[in-house]
Amino acid sequence: MIVVLDANVILADPWLRGTQFGTLIDGLKTVGGTLAVPALVVDEVVTKYEETYEQARGKTISCWEELNKLSREEIITPTIKPASQAASEYREWLLARLAQISARILPIPDVPHQVVIARELSRKRPFRNGKGYRDYLIWETVLRTPGRVVFVTMNTSDFGEVGELHRDLAEDVERTAIKRDSFDVSWNLRAFNEVYILPRLQQLEEIRKRLEVEGQIIEWFKDNTDSLLVEEDLLIVGMGMPPGAGRAGLVRLKSDPEVEIQAVWEREPGRYLVRVQAELPVTFSADFDADDYKNFAEVRELLGPEDMPAGSSASLSDQENEFLVSMVFTIGGNSLRIVDWDIEQIDARYVY
């Protein structure tokens, strides 16, 4: 799903820090989706920001000047940066913030002048009362965006008709590759979140709870811990040995693992990614030979000061530690079957 924002949506919350933008940004990460902003929308937002800033700046300066007239003592008028500077800084911030949340900037479409003129002369939306050039280019940007698209706009007068997409624009959708089942419009950010984000978050939370109750992931760790923790994990992470020192094996769980399902998000329809943090209390064996003792100070510190004769070895059984494993599982099907997994990080609670 690609969510395309109109300028009025951003202008309603120019710093993107309100509840609805927070829900949108975090929700798209979870349910799967991409935020997209037409380049023309960025230009329009910055221009309107500069105009509004200049108006507020002028009123503020006028108020301070009036206070100086009324005050017995001089009041120092604060220095307020020019609107052009504020707008330039805002543009830089907005583009950086959009990049930070992985939003796409959609280029201005190359529409022949003859097509624009014909559209305006035909009085088709979004042209209205001689206006609508920028809105038409934004609309063309939306139409040319492939995939499942949702256009979020508060401009019901130019794009809407009795709560629906205007019939002129609906005809455009039917004529393009974007079919009705892959295009929708929401008339504000709250409406979009209530339809596309909040219900999916609730569904993903239900999947998380189901995984906790049914215990598929705990059982997976019970069955796979011996192959999950390899020799390097046991020796380097679990015992603080340098690479190449010793051999390890015979891993077994001392008790049931503690598993926390931290997040569930949708990878594709019917398939989910599940981030898990697990604590695995295990015992294992470690063996070191004379070469290990000779070459590694860590081994000598572990085994003690007595020299180890050539050809001899030392075996340490029942070594204990708790390994903290961060993983992402791929879950699929109605039974929420584990189909794949990936290790993100392995740490040990104790280091020798």
343 and 252 in a single domain? The answer is: yes
Global pTM? 0.73
Task: Say if residue 4 is exposed, middle or buried (CB neighbours under 10 Å; 0-12, 13-18, 19+).
Answer: buried
174 and 224 in a single domain? The answer is: no
- Looking at the predicted structure, is the pLDDT value of residue 180 above 50? no
233 and 342 in a single domain? The answer is: yes
- Looking at the predicted structure, is the pLDDT value of residue 79 above 60? yes
pLDDT, average across residues 128-133: 84
CA distance 116 to 123: 11
pLDDT, average across residues 155-178: 84
CB 177 within 8 A of CB 146: yes
Number of neighbouring beta carbons within 10 Å of residue 295: 12
Specify if 295 maps to a domain: no
225 and 160 in a single domain? The answer is: no
Q: What is the pLDDT of residues 292-304, one digit of tens each?
A: 999 999 999 988 8
Last residue of a domain, one of 167, 199, 231: 199
Last residue of a domain, one of 130, 165, 199: 199
pLDDT, average across residues 277-295: 93
Cα within 13 Å of Cα(16), Cβ side: 18
What pLDDT does 179 receive? 54
189 and 114 in a single domain? The answer is: yes
Specify if 25 maps to a domain: yes
CA distance 127 to 163: 18
Domains in the chain, number: 2
Please tell me whether residue 75 adopts helix, strand or coil conformation: coil
165 and 235 in a single domain? The answer is: no
pLDDT, average across residues 133-154: 93
Indicate the pLDDT class of residue 176, thresholds 50, 70 and 90.
Answer: confident
CB 97 within 8 A of CB 16: yes
Provide the domain limits for residue 280.
Answer: 215-285+318-348
Indicate the pLDDT class of residue 352, thresholds 50, 70 and 90.
Answer: low
Last residue of a domain, one of 171, 199, 227: 199
Please tell me whether residue 152 adopts helix, strand or coil conformation: strand
265 and 173 in a single domain? The answer is: no
Q: What is the pLDDT of residues 233-274, one digit of tens each?
A: 999 999 999 999 999 987 889 999 999 999 998 888 788 999
Specify if 343 maps to a domain: yes
Q: What is the pLDDT of residues 10-33, one digit of tens each?
A: 999 999 999 999 999 999 988 889
83 and 20 in a single domain? The answer is: yes
> Which CATH number is 96's domain given?
3.40.50.1010
What pLDDT does 39 receive? 97
94 and 234 in a single domain? The answer is: no
270 and 141 in a single domain? The answer is: no
What pLDDT does 351 receive? 66
Listed in sequence order, the residues at least 6 apart from 9 whose beta carbon sits closer than 8 Å to its beta carbon are 152, 153, 154, 188, 189
229 and 131 in a single domain? The answer is: no
Average pLDDT of every residue of the chain: 90
Specify if 210 maps to a domain: no
153 and 118 in a single domain? The answer is: yes
